[in-house]
C-alpha cells in the first residue's frame, strides 16, 4: 500500500466551478495526486462516510500507481446528460454533446413535479429526433410513483432504460415486475453503494447495471463486477461518471474501453465544468481513450488552500487507514 504521507505530499485539492446545478451542487471539489503511472483522483461527495469514501481513494491509488488494463477499443461512445433544467434550456445542454444519439435525463428532482419531468423529456425528444432517451431518478420515487411516472413517460415514446427509479433493490425488482418489459430498469446506487452488488442479479431487479469506477474502488473492480453480473443474469453494463474531474474521467473511459459489449457510457460530463484539469474532447459522440495529466497552470487556477484543503487531507488520511 502506498504510504499516506507520500499521497498527502503529492495532493492538490481543487474546486471546479460548474455551468449548471447538477446533483444539487454548483462546484465540485476533489483531491488529485500524481504517481509513477499517472494521476489519480479522490473525490467522494461530502455526505459519504469514510468507509464508503475509502473505495474512491483505492480507485485513485490504482490510477496513479498501477495504471489501467489494456483497452479493447480506442474510443468510447457516450450519452448526453441533461440535468433537471427547464425545457427551454435543453437545447443549450444538448449542444455540449456533439454527435451523441443517446440522452440521459434527470427526473424526480426534489421540489419538482412529474409534469416538469414530462416536459423536460419531451424537449429532449424534440431536440434529438430519433435518438434514444434514458431517465435517471436517483432513487427518488416510491414504487407506485415510479410505475405511474414511467408509464406516463412511455406515452411520449420508448425509453432506453429507467435508472434507479427507487432506492432499494427490492423496490427495483417490484417496479421491473409491474412494468413487465415495457421499460428496462437500470441499477446505479443499488450497485455502487451496496455491500453486495450481486443482489441486483439475485433478485432479478435490473436489466442494466450502471457502474462507476471511483465508488467501486477502481477500473479492475468495475470489470470484475461487470463480468459477474453478465455471467449471473445477463445484465448489460453502462459505465458512468461520478461527476469526476478530467483526471477521474480518464479512469471511467479506461473502464468503458475494456468492456466487450458496453452501452453508450455516461461519461460526457466534462462539459458541465466551467474550468477543469484537462480536456476529453467529444468527437462524433465519443471520447478517445487517454489519460489526462493536468498542467501546473490548470491546477493553480482551481486549487483550494486553507481550512478546506485541510478538511480534504484529513479525510484522505482517515480513509487511508481503512484500506486493506
Residue with the three cell numbers 486549487: 303
CB distance 245 to 56 below 8 Å:
no
Extended strands (E) in the chain: 12-22, 25-35, 38-42, 75-77, 80-82, 102-106, 132-136, 161-163, 185-187, 208-212, 236-240, 282-283, 286-288
List 192, 212, 236, 315, catalytic entry: 212
Q: Is 119 marked as a binding-site residue? A: no
Q: Is 180 marked as a binding-site residue? A: no
Q: Which helix (H) or strand (E) holds 142?
A: none
List % helix, strand, coil for the chain (3-state, nearest 5): 40, 20, 40
Respond yes or no: is residue 230 known to be catalytic.
no
Length of the chain: 324
* Burial environment of residue 5 by CB neighbours within 10 A (0 to 12, 13 to 18, 19 or more): exposed
First and final C-alpha spacing in the chain? 8
C-alpha cell at 94: 444538448
List 104, 106, 134, 192, catalytic entry: 106
- The 3-state DSSP class for residue 122 equals helix
C-alpha cell at 183: 421499460
* Burial environment of residue 182 by CB neighbours within 10 A (0 to 12, 13 to 18, 19 or more): middle
Respond yes or no: is residue 104 known to be catalytic.
no
- Per the annotation, binding residues for Mg(2+) are 136, 163, 188
- Per the annotation, binding residues are 136, 163, 188
Positions marked catalytic: 106, 212
Amino acid at each position: 500500500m502506498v504510504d499516506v504521507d507520500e499521497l498527502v505530499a503529492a495532493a492538490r485539492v481543487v474546486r471546479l466551478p460548474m455551468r449548471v446545478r447538477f446533483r444539487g451542487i454548483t462546484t465540485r471539489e476533489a483531491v488529485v495526486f500524481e504517481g509513477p503511472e499517472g494521476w489519480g483522483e479522490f473525490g467522494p461527495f461530502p455526505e459519504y462516510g469514510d468507509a464508503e469514501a475509502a473505495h474512491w481513494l483505492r480507485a485513485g491509488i490504482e490510477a496513479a500507481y498501477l495504471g489501467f488494463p489494456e483497452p479493447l477499443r480506442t474510443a468510447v461512445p457516450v450519452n448526453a446528460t441533461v440535468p433537471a433544467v427547464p425545457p427551454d434550456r435543453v437545447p443549450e445542454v444538448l449542444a455540449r454533446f456533439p454527435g451523441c444519439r443517446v440522452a440521459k435525463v434527470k427526473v424526480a428532482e426534489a421540489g419538482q413535479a412529474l409534469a416538469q419531468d414530462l416536459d423536460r423529456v419531451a424537449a429532449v425528444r424534440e431536440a434529438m429526433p430519433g435518438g434514444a432517451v434514458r431517465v435517471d431518478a436517483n432513487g427518488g420515487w416510491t414504487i407506485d410513483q415510479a410505475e405511474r411516472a414511467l408509464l406516463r413517460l412511455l406515452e411520449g415514446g420508448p425509453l432506453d432504460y429507467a435508472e434507479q427509479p427507487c432506492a432499494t433493490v427490492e423496490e427495483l425488482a417490484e417496479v421491473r415486475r409491474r412494468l413487465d418489459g415495457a421499460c428496462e430498469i437500470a441499477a446505479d446506487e443499488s450497485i455502487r453503494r451496496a455491500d453486495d452488488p450481486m443482489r441486483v442479479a439475485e433478485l432479478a431487479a435490473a436489466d442494466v447495471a450502471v457502474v462507476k469506477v471511483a465508488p467501486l474502488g477502481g477500473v479492475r473492480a468495475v470489470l470484475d463486477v461487470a463480468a459477474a453480473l453478465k455471467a449471473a443474469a445477463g445484465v448489460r453494463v453502462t459505465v458512468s461518471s461520478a461527476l469526476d474531474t478530467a483526471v477521474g474521467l480518464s479512469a471511467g473511459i479506461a473502464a468503458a474501453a475494456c468492456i466487450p459489449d458496453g452501452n453508450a457510457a455516461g461519461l460526457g460530463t466534462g462539459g458541465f465544468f466551467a474550468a477543469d484539469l484537462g480536456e476529453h474532447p467529444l468527437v462524433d459522440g465519443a471520447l478517445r481513450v487517454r489519460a489526462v495529466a493536468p498542467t501546473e497552470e490548470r491546477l493553480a487556477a482551481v486549487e483550494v488552500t486553507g481550512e478546506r484543503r485541510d478538511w480534504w487531507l484529513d479525510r484522505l488520511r482517515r480513509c487511508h487507514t481503512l484500506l486493506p
